[in-house]
């Protein structure tokens, strides 16, 4: 099985987001960059597939110079090699899909895995959109993945609101990972050393000759609305509980 | 010229999620033309009454095989075939697991721009739509426009009000052809969560617990409070990671993002990832023994105290209020 994992580097979820004065992006100074948490589940699943069926795990990423760090971490988890599409700009999901489609078609694959969404723009578009672009079947938000190699079929469980859905599909396919799929491993020291020597191929975005007009335009970023000053109650538990219930009933009128 | 709004959603045995009346209302209030609703599956025609109540002028109902079982590729192919018949300028989906799976696929096949998980939509002077959506799980908001002739959006549940506007929908009797290479990915089984379990992303009130509860069995305190409130139960990340509750309870940047009317954070200190996931809540109520806990900075109402005393007392007080009203 040759498994490609699409991995995005994102700000650590601890990051306090500051909007740039031009309102077209965030201030990147001082941000700690990490592997998108949902992509970690995808990498872990790919490694488990390789352990079970043998084959290869290739990381595919897109972004500026800094993504190398997350790519090396992915290799330290155990991926075999990586391809980076070098792009200084943040691209909208559709353009990411067009760029990645060219790269993965050149690579070849049995399965393409990625996270259910990246925790920066939270778009949750790249996986299903790439599947459509490549005319592949898909399953997103997956919490269990079983492979029948002989029949070339997948049986997956998807997390819905208040339900679990079981889906069957042939592969090659695109699968997006949800928390619960597995528990990602930590890189070991020997694997961190080995990762430094693994092959990383770099492809400049310009060399893909996309030249496509954007489909979505960012007008501006704004901070979320301020929350009002809190009313804080202290003292005897029975009294504060009573007061709180009154406030919710009479002031907020929500119970 | 294309106009009107096509609203595409799932239904279950004639029942629609709360988000459907919300989206129909958003669609109508855009004022860019008539609203057409498209839905699928067994007993789908029973949704007609709801569609009419919320102002859908036209409905497309595919109840027949193979539309009885969801297929991302099958449904997307059929939708793409329908779109020229309806010729909408705007297509709306719910930003549910269903809509998030299907809408990017449809967008790519139509060559249309898509903006996911929108909080609100408005139109500019040229009748083009401007969407507001959260990014970084709500740590910032983005205003976005779509540049393609067809503008696609998915709408986050529980944000927009559903406003009744009764009409009698015309049923458009039009059936797509099914290609041989379609319906490859197919649902074979749906397992509902235990009955009585409310979904946190759709609930009006969410009662959520964290490490302050000290042990998994103490979630029973929250279950009791949730029961009197008719609320859903959620959690912080650490207690879900430790297996006190299922992963589906986890609220935060890498879990579920919620926007209820009231969010109770009980024994939750308020890590930045958790605060991001609850920032869309109208009222936040914090109960915590540590007056310095960050959760108090975002709360409308805070109680500094022992949750093991405050929560049962609060449950009793609310029970009394409910009994008298």
In this structure, are B72 and B209 located in the same domain?
A: no
Classify burial at B177, counting beta carbons within 10 Å of its beta carbon; exposed 0-12, middle 13-18, buried 19 or more.
Answer: exposed
Tell me, yes or no, whether B271 and B209 share the same domain.
Answer: yes
Residues B284 and B165 in one domain: no
Specify the CATH number for the domain of residue B316.
3.40.50.1220
Note which residues in 59-118 of chain A have CB less than 8 A from chain B. Answer: 92-94, 97, 116
Q: Which two tokens stand for residue B60?
A: 């497309």
Q: Do residues B13 and B155 share a domain?
A: yes
For chain B, the domain total comes to 2
Q: Tens digits of per-residue pLDDT, B88-108?
A: 999 999 999 999 999 999 999
In sequence order, the β-bridge partners of residue B145 are A217, B130
Same domain membership, residue B145 and residue B42: yes
- The pTM score is 0.96
Residues 127..166 of A with a Cβ closer than 8 Å to B: which?
127-129, 131-133, 135, 137-141, 143, 155, 158-166
H/E stretch holding A93 reads helix A93-107
Q: A92: alpha, beta or left, given left = phi > 0 and alpha = psi -120 to 50?
A: beta
- Residue whose tokens read 């490549």: A134
Do B92 and B162 reside in the same domain of the chain?
A: yes
Residues B223 and B287 in one domain: yes
Nearest residue of chain A to residue B246 (CA atoms): A180
Which residues of chain A lie closer than 8 angstroms to B279, CB-CB?
224, 227
Q: How far apart are CA B228 and CA B230, in angstroms?
A: 6
Determine the structural domain holding residue B93 and report its residue range: 5-171
- B316 lies in a domain? yes
- The answer on B154 and B18 residing in a single domain is yes
Mean pLDDT of B256-275: 97
Q: Chain A: give the shortest CA distance to residue B195, in Å.
A: 9
B296 and A255 in contact by Cβ < 8 A? no
Task: Report the Cα A249 to chain-centroid distance in Å.
Answer: 41
Q: A223-243: per-residue pLDDT in tens?
A: 999 999 999 999 999 999 999
User: B97 and A93 in contact by Cβ < 8 A?
Assistant: no
Domain shared by B21 and B106, yes or no? yes
Residue of A nearest to B247 (CA): A180
Note the pLDDT tens digit of each residue in B199-250: 999 999 999 999 999 999 999 999 999 999 999 999 999 999 999 999 999 9
Give the C-alpha separation, B319 to B24, whole Å.
35
Residues B14 and B150 in one domain: yes
Tokens for A137? 């079947």
> Are B162 and B24 contained in the same domain?
yes
Residue B275 in any domain: the answer is yes
In a domain, B194, yes or no: no
Sign (positive/negative) of CA torsion B248, B250, B256, B257? positive
Tell whether B113 lies on the interface with A, counting CB pairs under 8 A. Answer: yes
Alpha-carbon Rg for chain B in angstroms: 21
**pLDDT tens for each residue of A11-20:** 999 999 999 9
Cβ separation of A255 and B250 shorter than 8 Å? Answer: no
Range A2-208 classified under CATH 3.30.40.230: no
List the domain boundaries for chain A. Answer: 2-208, 225-255
Q: Above pLDDT 90, what percent of chain B? A: 96
**Of B120, B282, B312, B269, the residue nearest B206 (C-alpha):** B282
User: Chain A interface, mutation test: which of B70, B79, B155, B248, most A Cβ atoms within 10 Å?
Assistant: B248
């Amino acid at each position: 099985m040759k498994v490609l994992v699409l991995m995005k580097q994102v700000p650590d979820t601890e990051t306090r987001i500051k909007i740039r004065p031009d309102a077209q992006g965030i201030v990147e100074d001082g941000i700690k960059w990490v592997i998108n948490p949902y992509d970690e589940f995808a990498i872990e699943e790919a490694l488990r597939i390789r352990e079970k069926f043998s084959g290869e795990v290739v990381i595919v990423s897109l972004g500026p110079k800094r993504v190398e760090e997350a790519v090396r971490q992915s290799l330290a988890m155990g991926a075999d090699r990586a391809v980076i599409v070098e792009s200084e700009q943040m691209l909208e999901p559709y353009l990411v899909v067009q760029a990645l489609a060219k790269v993965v078609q050149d690579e070849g694959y049995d399965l393409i895995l990625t996270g259910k969404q990246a925790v920066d723009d939270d778009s949750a578009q790249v996986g299903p959109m790439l599947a459509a672009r490549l005319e592949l079947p898909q399953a997103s938000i997956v919490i269990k993945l079983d492979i029948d190699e002989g029949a070339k079929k997948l049986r997956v469980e998807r997390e819905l609101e208040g339900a679990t859905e079981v889906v069957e599909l042939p592969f090659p396919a695109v699968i997006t990972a949800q928390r619960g799929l597995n528990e990602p491993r930590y890189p070991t020291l020997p694997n961190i050393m080995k990762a430094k020597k693994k092959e990383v191929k770099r492809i400049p975005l310009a060399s893909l000759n996309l030249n496509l007009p954007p489909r979505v335009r960012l007008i501006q970023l704004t901070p979320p609305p301020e929350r009002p000053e809190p009313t804080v109650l202290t003292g005897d538990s029975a009294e504060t509980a009573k007061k709180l219930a009154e406030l919710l009933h009479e002031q907020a009128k929500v119970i | 010229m294309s106009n009107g709004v096509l609203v595409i959603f799932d239904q279950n045995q004639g029942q629609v999620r709360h988000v459907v009346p919300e989206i129909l209302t958003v669609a109508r209030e855009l004022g860019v033309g008539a609203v057409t609703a498209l839905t699928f599956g067994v007993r789908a025609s029973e949704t007609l009454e709801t569609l009419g109540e919320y102002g859908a002028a036209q409905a497309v109902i595919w109840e027949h095989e193979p539309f009885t079982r969801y297929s991302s590729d099958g449904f997307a192919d059929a939708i793409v075939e329908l779109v020229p018949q309806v010729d909408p300028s705007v297509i709306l989906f719910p930003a549910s697991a269903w809509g998030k799976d299907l809408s990017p696929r449809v967008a790519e096949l139509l060559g249309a721009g898509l903006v996911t998980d929108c909080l609100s939509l408005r139109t500019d002077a040229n009748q083009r739509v401007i969407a507001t959506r959260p990014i970084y799980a709500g740590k910032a908001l983005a205003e976005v426009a779509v540049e393609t002739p067809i503008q696609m959006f998915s709408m986050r549940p529980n944000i927009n009000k559903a406003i009744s506007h009764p009409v009698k929908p015309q049923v458009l009797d039009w059936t797509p052809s099914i290609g041989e290479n379609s319906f490859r990915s197919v649902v074979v089984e749906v397992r509902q969560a235990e009955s009585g379990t409310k979904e946190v992303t759709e609930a009006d009130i969410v009662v959520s617990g964290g490490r302050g509860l000290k042990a998994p069995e103490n979630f029973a305190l929250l279950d009791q409070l949730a029961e009197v409130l008719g609320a859903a139960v959620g959690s912080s990340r650490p207690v879900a990671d430790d297996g006190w509750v299922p992963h589906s309870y986890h609220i935060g940047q890498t879990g579920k993002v919620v926007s209820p009317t009231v969010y109770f954070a009980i024994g939750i200190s308020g890590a930045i990832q958790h605060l991001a996931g609850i920032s869309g809540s109208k009222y936040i109520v914090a109960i915590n023994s540590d007056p310095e806990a960050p959760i108090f900075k975002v709360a409308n109402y805070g109680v500094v105290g022992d949750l093991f005393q405050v929560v049962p007392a609060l449950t009793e007080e609310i029970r009394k209020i409910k009994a008298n009203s």
